[in-house]
Structure 1
Amino acid sequence: MPVWGDGEAYEPYIGRWSRRVADEFVRRLDVPDGAAWWDVGCGTGAVTRAVLEAADPGRVVGADPSESYLRYARRAIGDPRAGFVRADARRLPAPDGAAGAAVSGLVLNFVPEPARAAAEMVRVLRPGGLAAVYVWDYTQGGMGLLRHFWDAAAEVDADAARLDEGARFPLCAPEPLRRLLRGSGLADTTVGEIVVPTRFRDFADYWEPFRGGQGPAPAYLASLPEARRELLRERLRASLPAAADGSITLSARAWTALGRRPPR
């Protein structure tokens, strides 16, 4: 199974939290009503849905290389203003200057050449158009549900540290994001943060999505022998901050960055 590609497994793992960030992310953007939007790396459609609900777009095109994600998004979003195409973030099937906004959520750190993806977002913008992105903060105080997982994994497996998103994705921080957007030719670049609560009903609600194989942590879990998976599970159970009713409340921070294509 690919690391990303199964919409049904992605939603309970990361999708439910990404939707919360996407709503706030889109509400902060200043894009004229009726503009054309491109959602680059749309996945299961969290940002596309937020644009349709929180903005007033003329058209939103979601692009993603995974046909499974696109099928999920098409089923979940029935708005006639939305369309979905299979495409690589580095080669968008759009003419120059076609969009008023190009957005991307939780994608750029997974693209092999993020600078090319950012340049493509700028290319499809009209002069003055807005490019905006967000990525998870994988550091110690950022994406709690993953931080707890990798900290526990490192206790039972010395090799786990090299797979930790916090070590693998230095792009996911304010200054690297700012430099990326500036380097793509955007002006007036700014960075910010969005923090959302991630509350789990109980340990099973936290643990079971990791068994779906979507993303680096679940893929790592699937690679472990059963005995070590069980050891990791119990380390996690002991380390998570469970309330008296069994619920677990963590938080997730996303870094945001945006800028505008300069006038001609």
Structure 2
Amino acid sequence: MTSAVWRDGAAYEAYVGRWSRLVAVEFLRWLDLPAGLRWLDVGSGTGVLTSTVLGTAQPRQVTGVDPSAGFVRQARAEVTDPRAAFAVGDARVLPLPGSAVDVVVSGLVLNFVPEPALAAAEFARVVAPGGTVAAYVWDYAEGMAMMRHFWDAAAALDPAAAARDDWQRFALCRPEPLRALWTDAGLTDVSVQALAVPTVFTDFTDYWTPFLGGQGSAPGYLASLTGSQRTALRDLLATRLPTEPDGSIRLTARAWAVRGVPATGTVPSTKR
């Protein structure tokens, strides 16, 4: 379910985790679910979405499942709320019985699951009748500006880089495939929503340095370049990014969110 480039929690946080926290808030605001529910966070990573659920959704409990033992260790160390628990596991074979939770959520993960249809079927299996199944993914094609600028500059210097661009590799970064994934899993009342958040960098160094951490496709590509190639890419980006008079770089990040409910059942009660 995961690639070796998604194992270092600290590097992930510097690269994209800080923006993940912002979009998680928008996602939960969109869901607007009642208090007292049992949540499952699939692909919980370092606990960003789980922490947001705990802080804003008043859950009864939240279980986080992630294939990376390193991320699970970091999440356990950082999320100390007694309502939260984390386990190593695969989205395609979730370690829960059927109808075990009221809400299944997955943040910025589905593009990295080798067989997302199996994961969506598992989400539908473990949610209780009338529950909610929801997820969101970055819009790599157009909406993730920090990455869009990087890949456009990389392709200008190295046309072969275009094949490594995330939007070429991840079909689920668009609303239509997300909707179809949920519908094919037997979920109904399916809706898709754009979630946009600001990504403000204090200066070019703040933008560039996280790409040196080796986490994700763009940093992985950067690590494969020679020193002179990295310098050329850095210099080109510095001329292309929209820089404010104070040196800051103000971009936006967009995710696509999807939600649905099982085909049968009633709305889960908060009294059990």
Deviation of 1:30 (Å): 4.0
Distance 2:123 2:200 in 1: 34
CA distance in 2, matches of 1:15, 1:35: 26
Q: CA shift at 1:6, angstroms?
A: 0.6
SS of alignment partner, residue 120 of structure 2:
helix
Which residue is 2:19 aligned to? 17
Return the alpha-carbon distance in structure 1 between the equivalents of residues 100 and 137 of structure 2.
25
Matching of residues 202-213 of structure 1 within 5 Å: 202-213=203-214
| Kept in 2: contact 1:26–1:47 (CA 8 A) | no
Question: Is 2:188 the partner of 1:223?
Answer: no
CA distance in 1, matches of 2:212, 2:202: 17
Question: In the alignment, residue 26 of structure 1 is paired with which amino acid?
Answer: L
TM-score (structure 1 length as normaliser):
0.97
Match of 2:9 in 1: 7
2 CA distance for matches of 1:40 and 1:231?
Answer: 39
Q: Do the aligned residues in 2 keep the contact of 1:33 with 1:58 (CA within 8 Å)?
A: yes
Mapped partners of 1:159, 1:11: distance in 2: 28
Q: CA deviation at 1:261?
A: 1.1
> In the alignment, is residue 135 of structure 1 matched against residue 137 of structure 2?
yes
Aligned position for 1:157: 158
CA–CA separation in structure 1 for the residues paired with 2:190 and 2:38: 21
- How far did 1:32 drift? 3.5
Deviations 1:100-129 (A, max 9, x none): 000001000110000001111111001111
Deviations 1:199-253 (A, max 9, x none): 0000010000001110011011001111111111111111101111110000000
Q: Distance in 2 between matches of 1:238 and 1:102?
A: 43
Moved over 6 A (4+): none
Q: Which residue of 2 aligns with 1:105?
A: 107
Is residue 2:38 matched to residue 1:45? no
SS in 2 for 1:28: helix
Contact 1:63 1:84 in 2 (8 A): yes
Q: Distance in 1 between matches of 2:72 and 2:154?
A: 32
Residue 150 of structure 1 deviates from its aligned partner by 0.1
2:173 is paired with a residue whose SS is: coil
> Is 1:70–2:59 an aligned residue pair?
no
SS in 2 for 1:3: helix
Gap runs ≥5 in structure 1: none
Structure 2 runs not aligned, ≥5 long: 266-272
- What's the CA shift string for 1:158-184, capped at 9, x where partnerless? 210000011111211111100000000
Secondary structure of 1:91's partner? coil
Q: What is the aligned-residue identity percentage?
A: 56
- Counterpart residue number, 2:238: 237
In structure 2, C-alpha distance between the alignment counterparts of 1:254 and 1:72, rounded to whole Å: 24
SS at structure 2 position matched to 1:241: coil
Aligned residues: 263
Residue 75 of structure 1: CA displacement? Answer: 1.6
> Is the partner of 2:4 in helix, strand or coil?
coil
Instruction: Provide the secondary structure at the position in 1 that maps to 2:211.
Output: helix
The answer to whether the 8 A contact 1:138-1:146 is kept is yes
Give, in whole Å, the separation in 1 of the partners of 2:112 and 2:184. 18
User: 1:181 is aligned with what amino acid?
Assistant: W
Residues 16-58 of structure 1, C-alpha deviations (whole Å, 9 max, x = no match): 0010000111122143322111000011111101110111111
SS of 2:212 mapped into structure 1: helix
Provide the C-alpha distance between the structure 1 equivalents of 2:209 and 2:69, rounded to a whole number of angstroms: 24
The letter of the residue matching 1:102 is: V
Q: Which moved more, 1:186-195 or 1:26-35?
A: 26-35
Matched residue type, 1:139: A
Q: 1:166 — aligned with what?
A: 167
Q: Tell me the TM-score normalized by structure 2.
A: 0.95
1:86 alignment partner in structure 2: 88
